[in-house]
Amino acid sequence: MASHRRPQQQKRAYPTVFAATAAALAISAQSAQADPLPDPTKKGVKAQVDRLYEQATQATETYNGAKEKQKTLRKQADTLQDSVARGRKELNSLRSSLGSVASAQYRGGGLDPSLQLLLSSEPDDYLGKASNLERVSSRQAGVMRQAQAKQRSLDQQRRQATAKLGELADSRAELAAKKRLIQGKLAEAQRLLNTLSAEERAKMAEEEQRADRSSERVDLGDEASASSRGAAAFSAAKSRVGMPYVWSASGPNSFDCSGLTSWAFKQAGISIPRTSQQQAEVGTRINSLGDLRPGDLIIMRTDLSHVGFYAGNGQILHAPKPGANVRYESIARSGMPFMWGVRL
């Protein structure tokens, strides 16, 4: 009889287990409704936007380099064209001088064949005929040699100017392509932001505002600058805190990263290159974060595409990215690897 009652007790236990399981599921469901899991879509969008902003800032430094190259080419082309214009005037003056001699000879009984050759459409052919040199005076020969040399120089300068203008056209096309790349990344970032709700966008904006507010309360310590030039540039940069990041801007009311540093040093009376990659190669290199002093430049990212000022107490003063303002931030929390410092 006992062996018969044991299985009956097991059967009575099943409803209890089912009830407990159902209750647990109900509690779990209520908990899930009351405390929803974080939205992975929002995090994914923010990560993508941050990545696009990073790519845009990297492309901006490449754009800045192309823009500086274009300025150099434009100056070189202008110089060559000015030289060509001056050379043409000098050549015309020499030809005019020889033309006066030719007129005098014509009035005196005929035009010297040597001058006929020089004043022809191919005057350089004259000096190739050495026998004709004997038929002009030494003064005429000297003037004609000057004219020939000037013509050759002028032709060379014209070729150089044409080549430089071709480089300039290529540079303009390169610049336009890089501009489209940057604008495309910023547009894609905006498109992603537009997929978020107004509340989510407001939260992201609040994060940036919080970062700006914390910049106002930052503790920079009492470290002294290592150079008067760095101190003066850093002082100028501090006056720009709160100004917006704008790609390829170099002040005074908006900046990209290297635009801020080059502008600040300019206020201190010092000219430094425009791009972060170029700024990485000036001055004295400081390899350790611990050896940096306020006013030293900080070169960030493996491609050297970001730069700012060391501000003291582990802080960087920089123009970080689109949508942000010039501000202080912890180097450790910037998300960008430190490469080295530069002291001027």
Complete DSSP assignment for 229-254: HHHHHHHHHHTTTTPBB-TT-BSSS-
pLDDT: which is higher, 180 or 6: 180
pLDDT at 108: 44
Please, which residues bridge with residue 285 across strands? 342
pLDDT at 9: 41
pLDDT at 180: 94
pLDDT at 4: 42
pLDDT at 16: 40
pLDDT at 122: 55
pLDDT at 120: 55
Catalytic (active-site) positions: 257, 306, 318
pLDDT at 214: 82
pLDDT value at 334 more than 60: yes
Q: What percent of the chain has pLDDT over 90?
A: 46
pLDDT at 204: 85
pLDDT value at 59 more than 90: yes
pLDDT at 299: 98
Identify the CA nearest to 307 among candidates 323, 290, 165, 282: 282
pLDDT at 115: 52
pLDDT at 85: 85
3 state DSSP class of 309? strand
pLDDT: which is higher, 175 or 34: 175
Q: What percent of the chain has pLDDT over 70?
A: 75
pLDDT value at 3 more than 50: no
Least confident interval from 64-68, 140-144, 238-242, 287-291: 140-144
122/113 Cα distance (integer angstroms): 14
DSSP 8-state symbol, 291 = G
pLDDT value at 132 more than 70: no
Please, which residues bridge with residue 342 across strands? 285, 297
Give the tokens for residue 205: 């904006």
Secondary element (H or E) of residue 76: helix 40-107
pLDDT band at 107 (very low <50, low <70, confident <90, very high): very low
pLDDT at 74: 85
Mean pLDDT of 33-37: 38
Give the tokens for residue 292: 């940096």
Q: pLDDT tens for residues 133-165?
A: 445 556 666 777 777 777 888 888 888 888 888
Cα 126 to chain centroid distance, Å, stands at: 53
Mean pLDDT of the chain: 80
Mean pLDDT of 222-231: 94
Q: In what order do the strands lie in the sheet with 297-300?
A: 284-286, 338-343, 297-300, 306-312, 315-318, 327-330
pLDDT at 137: 58
pLDDT at 113: 54
pLDDT value at 127 more than 60: no
Q: What is the dihedral of CA 227, 284, 62, 331, to 10 degrees?
A: -70
Q: pTM for the whole thing?
A: 0.67
| Cβ–Cβ < 8 Å for 252, 266 | no
pLDDT at 21: 36
pLDDT value at 42 more than 80: no
End-to-end Cα separation, the chain, in angstroms: 99
Mean pLDDT of 98-124: 53
3 state DSSP class of 323? coil
pLDDT at 271: 96
